Chain A
Amino acid sequence: MKRLTLLALVAVMVAVTVPASASTFLAMNQEELVAASDSVVVGEVMQVQSYWNEGATAIVTDALVRVNETLAGNASGVVQVRTFGGQVGPVRIEAHGFPVFERGQRVVLHLQDDGDAARVVGYQQGHLRLLVRQSDGVQVAVPTVDSGAHLVTRDGSPVQPQRVRTLDTLRQEIRDAAADVRHELKSSVR
């Protein structure tokens, strides 16, 4: 009975999952993400607001992110992060594959300064969600890349999907990558 219940639940969950869809992005590995970032932070989304841009040609969304820890670069305090798409009143612009923020979300963000706000390097590839693993209470970083991102590689190699890892592991990967690129020019994939 228990097995049947589980089977039914899993099957229903899979059956009703409807992936979103997409834009095309260059695939970036962890080293490339760090190399292209001005800073990498662990933080919490405090506020999200969508609005029409100047000229009213598109809807953008700003998230205010409180920086709890800086893994690379110098970002601190509260950073304003801008992404494309969102909803204002009845009008919604879908920007598949672009980062989506929710208030209260705990995140790791690879950020690049872009005028009066930062943007996420690599789009969803540079945006990881932090969750607490129920089995042991350890914080894990979960990729947000969904089926809305159409990824391409420069060299013909298969796209390696990002994996879930503990925050400690990710933290070390980012610091190692930052040390490697500290004295180098920013990557050409910025």
Chain B
Amino acid sequence: MNKRTLRLLALVAVATLVASSASAFVLLSPARTWDCSPNVIVDDRGESSITDADGGVAATVAALTSNQAWNGAVSGTLLTAEAGSMANYTLGDGIPMLNFQDPINACKGSCLAATFTGFYQERNDGSFQIFDADIVTNGRYDWTTQSEPDGCSGEFYMEGVQVHEVGHLLGLGHSGVSGATMFPSVSSCNNGPASTAGDDNAGIQALYGNSAPSCSGNPGGDPGGGCDLGQSGDSCTDNGDCCSGNCKGKPGSKTCK
């Protein structure tokens, strides 16, 4: 590598660094967006430790759809939310759901809430389209909302945590800007993340531009929801053919275990 090439490389890299440090937001990798504004179904059972009128359902819906949060980042409506049943809660089914419980036992112990992404597909132009993302919540912690009459004491605000999680659902990673909704740490009784900051909004604009998608509604259907691979006893050729991830037998007569 000659000196000129190295100089050029250094300049390009430094320019990239300067450009990236101007805003600290980070996009999920690969970058991905919804085609239509998603409608997040919020668990209509409510969360049992929240003592407002409905276990935090209305407060969470209001926080997610507020113009102080993601809908204030662009013109139009970036997402909608409504209370609904979790009876058909399934990862990857094209219906984004926010569950106040954890039916898949992923979020235990010190996990408060988790967003499962990974449900995206490549568009014809090489960009990536999100078709689902779902959230679970750990009900063993004490949660609260701004609507609770007794204030906050050692509890975690459902609004702030879920606005953060929905940031992931929309395609954002974590930000290095303290005070941003997507900053990766916060304390109990701090509902600051329920209101997005300029850096959060810049991240959304980097993904979606200045306007929300012109259509709304969830992809629905079953574009990959659950396991559509081989069940026990089905023939297979390798582990990736089976829900169990376990394809065994002699070549030509392998079956899923």
With A and B bound together, what is the CA distance between A125 and B114 in angstroms? 15
Total interface residues on A, CB under 8 Å, equals 64
Contact B186 A152 (CB under 8 A): yes
Choose the segment among B13-21, B67-75, B207-215 that binds chain A (4+ C-beta atoms closer than 8 Å).
B13-21
Return B71 CB to nearest CB of chain A, in Å: 21
A74 at the interface (CB under 8 A from B): no
Asked if B106 contacts A22 (CB within 8 A), the reply is: no
Min CB gap B203→A, angstroms: 11
Please choose the segment from B39-47, B52-60, B77-85, B238-246 that sits at the chain A interface, where 4 or more of its residues have CB less than 8 A away: B238-246
Q: A179 at the A/B interface (Cβ < 8 Å)? A: no
Contacts of A155 in B (CB 8 A): 154, 187-188
Alpha-carbon gap, A190 to B16, bound state (A): 43
Q: Mark A1-29, 1 if CB is under 8 A from B, else 0.
A: 10011011001101100111111111110
Residue numbers in B under 8 Å from A36 (CB-CB): 109-110
CB neighbours (8 Å) of A25 from chain B are 110-112
Question: In whole Å, how far is A27's beta carbon from the nearest beta carbon of chain B?
Answer: 7
Within 8 A of B (CB), among A10-69: 11-12, 14-15, 18-28, 36, 49-53, 56-58
- Is there contact, CB below 8 Å, between B165 and A24? yes
* B interface, size bucket: 35 or more
Known: A49-B245, A157-B187. 20 other contacts (CB 8 A): A1-B3, A12-B13, A20-B28, A22-B174, A23-B107, A23-B111, A23-B114, A24-B111, A26-B112, A27-B110, A51-B244, A52-B227, A85-B116, A85-B118, A89-B242, A95-B114, A122-B110, A147-B184, A154-B188, A189-B110
Residues of B with Cβ closer than 8 Å to A? 1, 3, 6-7, 9-10, 13-14, 16-17, 20, 26, 28-29, 90-92, 103-104, 106-118, 141, 154, 156, 161, 164-165, 168, 172-174, 184-190, 224, 226-227, 229, 239-246
Q: 25 A-B pairs, CB-CB below 8 angstroms?
A: A4-B7, A5-B1, A8-B10, A11-B13, A14-B13, A15-B17, A20-B28, A21-B174, A22-B174, A22-B184, A26-B110, A51-B242, A57-B90, A88-B229, A88-B239, A90-B224, A91-B224, A96-B117, A112-B109, A121-B110, A122-B109, A122-B110, A123-B110, A123-B111, A153-B187
